Amino acid sequence: MGVFSFLNKKPKKLTVPVDLGILGADVHSHLIPNIDDGSKDIDDSISMISQLKTFGYKKIITTPHIMGDGYRNTPEIILDGLKNVNQALAENNIQIETGAAAEYYIDYDFEKKLDSEKLLTFGNNYLLFEVSYMNPPDNLYHVIFKMQTMGYKPVLAHPERYNFWHKEFQKYEDFLDKGVLLQMNINSLTGYYSIPTKKIAEQMIDKNMISFVGTDCHHVGHLNLMKDVIYEPYLLKLIESGNLLNNTL
């Protein structure tokens, strides 16, 4: 085998798929219809939740976007939507535990929300947040500290997807040092977002940095990718790391 062929050989896939039932709960998805860029209608929601159940998940914590310039959701809108989803699940005899939190976008509006309302969290007061894919906000560390002083436990959504930190891996370690937990998207391990994103996700797994793994499911395409990701060796390594908190929820 030539050097070029050796370097470009793909890692061997698992022969036995990873059982996602070990995770217990999914912590990141967009399954409430018509309130963000996820589920389009109630039938869409029921179909996706049913498929997540077939992967072995026992609990779904869906996390619609909340952002000042985009999806101006409120806890009331999200929780009302969850009631409708749960009613439809019951009518279709689909038995799975469902709850809701939110994926908060750190923008000019977020700190005002932090000061004026009780934010939606999951588990042990975990607060899922994201930042712009263009650049991190200047006040990021200030906002993280403020979340913590108010009793929230910040969880950074899909850190592997922020390209501006790919060449500054120390930034991810800084988050851990500051008490921020990291949530990886499961499909990052397929190369769906990009190959560099996959590599960063694998590096984080190697360094035992991931506390939560989520589907970030928006549509059936994400579910189709999961049929491949369950054969990824790094997914097995992540689950066997003992670091994941999904099954504590």
Backbone phi and psi for residue 235, each to the nearest 5 degrees, phi listed first: -70, -45
Structure tokens at 38: 């996820």
- Residue 88, exposed/middle/buried by CB under 10 A (0-12, 13-18, 19+)? middle
The whole-number pLDDT of residue 3 equals 45
Mean pLDDT on 36-54 = 98
pLDDT tens, position by position, 218-246: 999 999 999 999 999 999 999 999 999 99
Write the DSSP string, 47-74.
HHHHHHHHTT-SEEEE--EE-TTS----
Using CA atoms of 85, 87, 88, 89 in order, give the dihedral in degrees to the nearest 10: 90
- 197, 165 contact by CB (below 8 A): no
Model confidence pLDDT, tens digit, residues 135-170: 999 999 999 999 999 999 999 999 999 999 999 999
pLDDT band at 117 (very low <50, low <70, confident <90, very high): very high
* Mean pLDDT for the stretch of residues 33-38: 98
| pLDDT above 80 for 6 | no
How many Cβ atoms from other residues are within 10 Å of residue 224's Cβ? Answer: 11
Give the number of other CB atoms < 10 A from CB of residue 123. 17
